[in-house]
């Protein structure tokens, strides 16, 4: 039982038995311009509407209300750049003022309620400012991760049809400078909107010169200096706050839509109850604003809660060493850190006994949270041992926006079991079902599904495509949302998430579509067909490997082909795909209907027991591929 006398099991049961009461209570943590009288409406089912009669402004809740409550002098955002060796702090008053003025800049570009703003920025404070300024106007942002190439940016611009793009002249990677402007220019041309206004934050050391290119170029600093602050615009709780594109099984990314009201309520619930973070606490999420983790827990969650959020521009290793995380925790007095297991594995690889910890005082750190990929038990035990604090895995997805399964540290810390993210969070009615949708007994692996409706804060639809939303998530199992993950529940109800059931892979906590990489490989003139699978990688969890069949009569050196394919994926998808390996094969295993047996290939490559479906067209292909795929 928690220090406040509340029990997880009571709260969880109430969230399902008394949905209205539970979430209306939770909604009291938000400042509404119109208080909701109802929590949930199924009038548009299967699309969920949370707080259908409520109105609010999310940026007001994240900023102004804390200033009004007397916390204007408290740090809101600490930007720690390991790349530049510089830290900049914005108080709530300063961040509110800056966001209000940048909202004025956006308004001057014609952005109003419901309009879209595409944000393509690295981990600099302007990313948070641009997101919050968009929200302040009741507009809808779509942030694109900086590691995506022009084509991916173009696809998102095309789909979201923004009024303006916000970017910078440059990003900093450890061994590379990332020139943003040529990428943006190419993306606008590809998307067929070459004259779309582009607001550019100049970064020292990068050219911010529109040059002779024919585009509408707005200088961030100049525009901000002359801007009139804009007041927060109330929107309906059900209006969209943002679109975030994520990988599906096809090459076309899915535009996950998040609403305003449900999002604010769910994030506030999670900050207090899941993470035990409250106003005045210092919280650090080491991710990127381009991912959902960055949206929810670098920007919105901690600011809605009135906490101080640390935004880190750097890596766990190499900037300058494997003590970087401990340095940030010590410098800013971080109470809880949220990162991906990959980052911990990278630190461990460089500093196996975490010797660098001794250089820093990390005494403020109470909890380490991980998500983005499964926290393998080895890394769990290592991190628990070297830090001596609870290491807490939790499981969620871009679609849900906050934890599906977690350990509610602020409500009632539950015993931690290695390998499990613990128990379902309120509102998530989780079941493990077989292929026919029939629940399986405890201990048996199956598809993880969530009974509808999903709780507040989860996706409401896919941008401009309700049908794809239904087809992608709701059709497979009647009355349920299909998570795309498989796993099991043990006799204590603990959930174990084992991996994806579709062609989505997870590389260094980054979600990628093997289908998208296959589409790119297929463009190479020598390639007749190909399969991309995610094979186990000791550092990054998985890595993408391509198996290609050459067109008949084509001869090409395998190394030359690999180099060309690597360059092609980097150009078309971006460095984030981290595609480095391809192998030429004579044939791929397929079913009689032509479906490539990627799962069987992956099982063989990972040295697991493999299953060959009876529908295989030519079983001899498996015999041929065994020595090619098997780990050496
Ligand atoms: N802009 C441009 N390029 C980027 C980028 C960005 N924002 N982020 C990554 N890249 C590039 C990297 O420079 C690298 O390019 P390279 O092939 O030229 O070296 C490539 O994308 C792959 O990056 P990454 O997967 O980060 O690998 P890495 O070898 O540079 O670093 C780790 C390895 C483990 C240190 C790193 O992956 C990491 O910190 N992971 C944590 C993951 C995380 O926070 N995930 C978010 C979900 S919670
Ligand atoms: P993303 O949408 O990028 O957050 O990726 C979501 C996917 O990452 C999930 O569907 C899982 O496959 C995987 N994932 C995220 N967190 C975890 C976790 N804690 N344990 C296991 N898998 C996870």
- For residues 532-550, average pLDDT: 96
> Residue 326: pLDDT above 90?
yes
Residue ranges around ligand 1 (CB below 6 Å) = 122, 146-147, 171, 173, 176, 178, 286-288, 291, 293, 315-317, 340, 342-343, 346, 372, 508-510, 575-576, 578
pLDDT tens-digit series, residues 471-497: 999 999 999 999 999 999 999 999 999
Burial of 17 (0-12, 13-18, 19+ CB in 10 A): exposed
User: HEC states along 164-215?
Assistant: EEEEECEEEECCEEEEHHHHHHHHHHHHCCCCCCEEEECCCCCCCCCCCCCC
H-helix or E-strand spanning residue 430: strand 429-433
Look up the pTM and report it: 0.95
| Closest C-alpha to ligand 1, atom 23 | 576
pLDDT at position 3 is: 54
Task: For residue 86, give the 3-state DSSP assignment.
Answer: strand
Measure Cα distances from 303 to 61, 121, 245, 610 in Å. 8, 20, 23, 47
Torsion of CA 552, 553, 558, 560, to 10 degrees: -120
- Whether 23 and 456 have beta carbons less than 8 Å apart is answered as yes
Cα 300 to Cα 132: distance, rounded to the nearest angstrom: 8
Q: Can you give the pLDDT at residue 161?
A: 98
Task: Give the rounded percent of residues in the chain with a pLDDT score beyond 70.
Answer: 98
How many angstroms is it from 157 CA to the middle of ligand 1? 23
pLDDT band at 5 (very low <50, low <70, confident <90, very high): confident
| Full set of structural domains in the chain with CATH | 523-629 (3.30.300.30)
Q: How far apart are CA 444 and CA 490, in angstroms?
A: 8
Nearest to 220 by CA among 82, 124, 337, 289: 124
Residue 395 has pLDDT above 70, yes or no: yes
User: How many whole angstroms from 507 Cα to the centroid of ligand 1?
Assistant: 9
Ligand nearest to the CA of 574: 1
CA distances 317 to 80, 327, 349, 368, Å, are: 15, 12, 9, 18
What pLDDT score does 212 carry?
58
Residues flanking ligand 2, CB < 6 Å: 246, 292, 371-374, 393-398, 421, 484-485, 497, 500, 506, 511
Residue 576 Cα to ligand 1 midpoint, Å, equals 6
Rg of the Cα trace of the chain? 24
539 CA closest ligand 1 atom index:
34
Ligand 2 probe mutation, 253, 371, 510, most atoms within 8 A of CB: 371
Residue 311 in this model has a pLDDT that exceeds 90: yes
The mean pLDDT value of the chain amounts to 95
Asked if 452 contacts 481 with a C-beta cutoff of 8 angstroms, the reply is yes
Q: How far apart are CA 430 and CA 12, in angstroms?
A: 12
| Closest alpha carbon to 47 in 515, 417, 353, 468 | 468
The per-residue pLDDT for range 151-174, each reduced to its tens digit, is 999 999 999 999 999 999 999 999
First CA to last CA across the chain, in angstroms?
50
Q: Which ligand is nearest to the CA of 483?
A: 2
pLDDT tens digits, one per residue of 346-363: 999 999 999 999 999 999
Query: Which residue minimizes the CA distance to atom 7 of ligand 2?
Result: 397
Q: For 175-222, write each residue's pLDDT tens digit.
A: 899 999 999 999 999 999 999 999 999 998 887 776 656 678 899 999
The protein residue whose alpha carbon is closest to atom 8 in ligand 1 is 147
Tell me how far apart the alpha carbons of residues 36 and 355 are, in angstroms, rounded to a whole number.
52
The per-residue pLDDT for range 74-101, each reduced to its tens digit, is 999 999 999 999 999 999 999 999 999 9
Q: What is the model's pLDDT at position 611?
A: 86
Contact (CB, 8 A) for 100 and 108:
no
Q: Please tell me what DSSP assigns to residue 247.
A: -
Query: Which of 3-17, 216-230, 323-337, 556-570 is predicted least confidently?
Result: 3-17
In 3D space, the residue among 513, 503, 485 whose CA is nearest the CA of residue 579 turns out to be: 513
The band of 2, judged by pLDDT with boundaries at 50, 70 and 90, is: low
Question: Residue with the nearest Cα to atom 9 of ligand 2?
Answer: 397
Please give the distance of CA 578 from its chain centroid, rounded to a whole number.
17
Q: How far is the CA of 89 from the centre of ligand 1 (A)?
A: 25
Q: Which atom of ligand 2 is nearest to the CA of 293?
A: 4
Residue 208 CB neighbours (<10 A): 18
d(CA 143, CA 134): 11
pLDDT at 217: 87
Q: How far is CA 432 from CA 9, 300, 429, 506, in A?
A: 19, 31, 10, 22
| Residue minimizing CA distance to atom 5 of ligand 2 | 397
Nearest ligand (C-alpha, residue 448): 2
pLDDT at 503: 87
CA of 329 to the centre of ligand 1 (A): 21
Give the C-alpha separation, 574 to 290, whole Å.
Answer: 14
State which of 576, 577, 579, 581 you would mutate to test the pocket of ligand 1, scoring each by most atoms of that ligand within 8 A of its C-beta.
576
Find the ligand nearest to 123 CA. Answer: 1
Residues 515, 519: Cα–Cα separation, whole Å:
6
């Amino acid at each position: 039982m928690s220090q406040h006398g509340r029990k997880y099991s009571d709260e969880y049961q109430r969230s399902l038995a008394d949905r209205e009461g539970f979430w209306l209570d939770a909604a009291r943590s938000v400042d509404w311009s119109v208080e909701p009288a109802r929590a949930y409406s199924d009038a548009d089912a299967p699309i969920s509407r949370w707080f259908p009669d409520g109105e609010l402004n999310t940026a007001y809740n994240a900023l102004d209300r804390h200033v009004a409550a007397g916390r204007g002098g408290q740090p809101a955002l600490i930007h720690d750049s390991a790349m530049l060796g510089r830290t900049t702090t914005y108080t709530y008053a300063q961040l509110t003022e800056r966001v209000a003025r940048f909202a004025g800049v956006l308004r001057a570009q014609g952005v109003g309620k419901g309009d879209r703003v595409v944000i393509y920025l690295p981990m600099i404070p302007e990313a948070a400012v641009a997101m919050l300024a968009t929200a302040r106007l009741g507009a809808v942002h779509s942030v694109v991760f900086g590691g995506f190439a022009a084509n991916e940016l173009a696809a998102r611009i095309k789909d979201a049809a923004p009024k303006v793009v916000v970017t910078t002249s440059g990003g900093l990677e450890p061994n590379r400078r990332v020139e943003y402007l040529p990428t943006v220019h190419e993306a606008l041309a590809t998307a067929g909107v070459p004259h779309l206004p582009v607001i550019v934050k100049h970064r020292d050391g990068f050219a911010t010169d529109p040059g002779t290119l024919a585009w509408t170029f707005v200088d961030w600093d100049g525009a901000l200096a002359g801007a009139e602050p804009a007041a927060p615009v109330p929107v309906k709780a059900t209006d969209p706050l943002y679109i975030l594109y994520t990988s599906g099984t096809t090459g076309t990314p899915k535009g996950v839509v998040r609403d305003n009201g449900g999002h604010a309520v769910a994030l506030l619930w999670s900050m207090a109850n899941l993470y035990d973070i409250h106003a005045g606490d210092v919280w650090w999420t080491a991710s990127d604003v381009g991912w959902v983790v960055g949206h929810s827990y670098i920007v919105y969650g901690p600011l809605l809660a009135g906490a101080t959020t640390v935004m880190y521009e750097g890596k766990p290793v190499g900037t300058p060493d494997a003590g970087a995380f401990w340095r940030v925790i010590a410098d800013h007095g971080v109470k809880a850190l949220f990162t991906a297991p990959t980052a911990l594995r990278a630190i461990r690889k460089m500093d196996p006994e975490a010797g660098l910890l001794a250089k820093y005082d990390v005494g403020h750190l109470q909890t380490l949270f991980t998500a983005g990929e499964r926290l393998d038990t080895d890394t769990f035990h290592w991190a628990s041992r070297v830090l001596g604090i609870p290491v807490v895995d939790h499981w969620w997805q871009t679609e849900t926006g906050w934890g599906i399964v977690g350990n509610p540290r602020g409500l009632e810390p539950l015993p931690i079991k290695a390998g499990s993210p613990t128990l379902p969070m309120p509102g998530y009615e989780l079941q493990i079902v077989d292929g026919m949708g029939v629940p399986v007994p405890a201990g048996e692996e199956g598809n993880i599904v969530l009974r509808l409706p999903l709780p507040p804060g989860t996706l409401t639809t896919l941008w401009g495509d309700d049908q794809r939303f239904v087809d992608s998530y709701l059709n497979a199992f009647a009355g349920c949302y299909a998570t795309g993950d498989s796993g099991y529940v043990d006799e204590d109800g603990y959930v174990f998430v084992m991996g994806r059931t579709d062609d989505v892979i997870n590389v260094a906590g980054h979600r990628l579509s093997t289908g998208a990489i296959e589409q790119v490989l297929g463009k190479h003139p020598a390639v007749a067909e190909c399969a991309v699978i995610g094979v186990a990688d000791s550092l990054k969890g998985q890595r993408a490997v391509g198996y290609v069949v050459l067109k008949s009569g084509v001869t090409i050196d395998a190394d030359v082909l690999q180099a060309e394919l690597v360059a092609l994926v980097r150009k078309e998808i971006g460095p984030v795909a981290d595609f480095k390996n391809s192998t030429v094969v004579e044939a791929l295993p397929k079913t009689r209907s032509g479906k490539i047996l990627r799962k069987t290939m992956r099982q063989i490559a990972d040295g697991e027991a493999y299953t060959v479906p009876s529908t295989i067209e030519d079983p001899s292909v498996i015999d041929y591929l065994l020595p090619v795929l098997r780990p050496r």
